[in-house]
């Protein structure tokens, strides 16, 4: 279940981040096809989903308070290390924490794939019903699969192979979905 963002943690230092997030949610005048977001990375530089067109992208929403999110981080890292030639992994931190806290948390977990910051704000095209949620985005930028619950490297590789084997990927309306049963 998603936790509400804490308004007490807002300070003046968050204004540039909030402005960048608001600008990222405005559709571009170019009308580029496919899902897109531009969010700040842990180094402060923007990460654009559209920059990865032509590759599969695993977009994983997580938070430091979410136990299943923490359990799947080593699996996402393993997938990143072994499948980097097939897909890019992007972790979306879905909470409003200070940048330093998130950086140190990610370092302790040994994560080397890109982490971006959403400040707990939803993003168009990525329907969250809980955490963790993992989205498989096709090389053309369409949502091909959604998984609610923890994932592992084998499950991601299997699902990616299945999508590649079917000769393509479904459009946004035909995207598949799965979740773990309690």
Q: What is the 3-state secondary structure (H, E, C) of the chain?
A: CCCCCCHHHCCHHHHHHHHHHHHHHCCCCCCCCCCCCEEEECCCCEEEHHHHCCCEEEEEEECCCCHHHHHHHHHHHHHHHHHCCCEEEEEEECCCCCHHHHHHHHHHHCCCCCEEECCCCCECCECCCCCCEEEEECCCCCEEEEEECCCCHHHHHHHHHHHHHCCCCCCHHHCEEEECCC
19-33, 78-92, 134-148, 157-171: the lowest-pLDDT one: 19-33
What's residue 163's pLDDT?
A: 94
Report percent pLDDT > 70 for the chain. Answer: 73
What's residue 26's pLDDT?
A: 38
Q: What are phi and psi of 20, to 5 degrees?
A: -65, -40
What's residue 172's pLDDT?
A: 40
Confidence of residue 31 (pLDDT cuts 50, 70, 90): very low
What's residue 79's pLDDT?
A: 98
What would the pLDDT profile of 39-69 be if each residue is shown by its tens digit? 999 999 999 999 999 999 999 999 999 999 9
| 15-20+36-179 maps to CATH 3.40.30.10 | yes
Could you tell me whether strands 133-137 and 56-62 are parallel, antiparallel, or unpaired per DSSP bridges? antiparallel
What's residue 13's pLDDT?
A: 52
Confidence of residue 28 (pLDDT cuts 50, 70, 90): very low
């Amino acid at each position: 279940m998603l936790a509400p963002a804490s308004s007490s943690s807002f300070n003046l230092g968050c204004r540039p981040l909030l402005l960048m997030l608001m600008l990222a949610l405005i559709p571009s005048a170019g009308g580029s096809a496919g899902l897109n977001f531009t969010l700040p990375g842990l180094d402060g530089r923007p990460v654009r989903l559209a920059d990865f067109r032509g590759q599969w992208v695993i977009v994983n929403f997580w938070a430091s308070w979410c136990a299943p999110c923490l359990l799947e981080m080593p699996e996402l890292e393993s997938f990143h290390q072994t499948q980097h030639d097939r897909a890019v992994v992007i972790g979306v931190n879905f909470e409003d924490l200070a940048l330093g806290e998130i950086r140190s948390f990610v370092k302790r977990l040994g994560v080397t794939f890109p982490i971006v910051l959403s400040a707990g704000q939803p993003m168009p095209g990525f329907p969250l019903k809980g955490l963790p949620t993992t989205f498989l985005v096709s090389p053309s930028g369409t949502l091909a699969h959604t998984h609610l619950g923890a994932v592992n490297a084998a499950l991601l590789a299997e699902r990616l192979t299945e999508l590649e084997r079917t000769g393509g990927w479904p459009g946004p309306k035909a995207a598949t979905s799965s979740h773990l049963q309690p």
